[in-house]
Structure 1
């Protein structure tokens, strides 16, 4: 009798899981998201980052030449 009760409990749990999951399988799919549109701000930001990187590199290249002309000690 114990085997019958355990298998009935397992069957009840499986039935409960299927009753929750199966309606979600038949749900309608959502409409796809619209394609992202670029208003130019990301392009402007990319150009600004490149220009700041160029300015940083130039600063580090020019600074040793400028600093070598000073004699502190």
Structure 2
């Protein structure tokens, strides 16, 4: 019977410690999330590069056709 009483005291102490510690572990959940990053904007560089690639492929194809 004494062993049972000791277990209740130990469990009560552990419950008290956990009741005090657990809220501080989860305290970071109340900090607001950072603002999302702004959406990327296109400044036309990708479009210009795409047009340049198409023109280079066209020049390569024309050169191949003319010299064959």
TM-score, normalization: structure 2?
A: 0.51
Alignment counterpart, residue 41 of structure 2, candidates 27, 37, 57: 37
Q: How many residues align?
A: 45
Q: For 1:23 and 1:41, how far apart are their aligned partners in 2?
A: 46
Q: Which runs of 5+ in 2 are unaligned?
A: 1-21
Task: Indicate the residue corresponding to 2:65 in structure 1.
Answer: 61
Structure number with higher helix proportion: 2
Q: Which runs of 5+ in 1 are unaligned?
A: 1-18, 65-73
Which 4+ residue blocks in structure 1 deviate beyond 2 angstroms? Answer: 22-25, 27-30
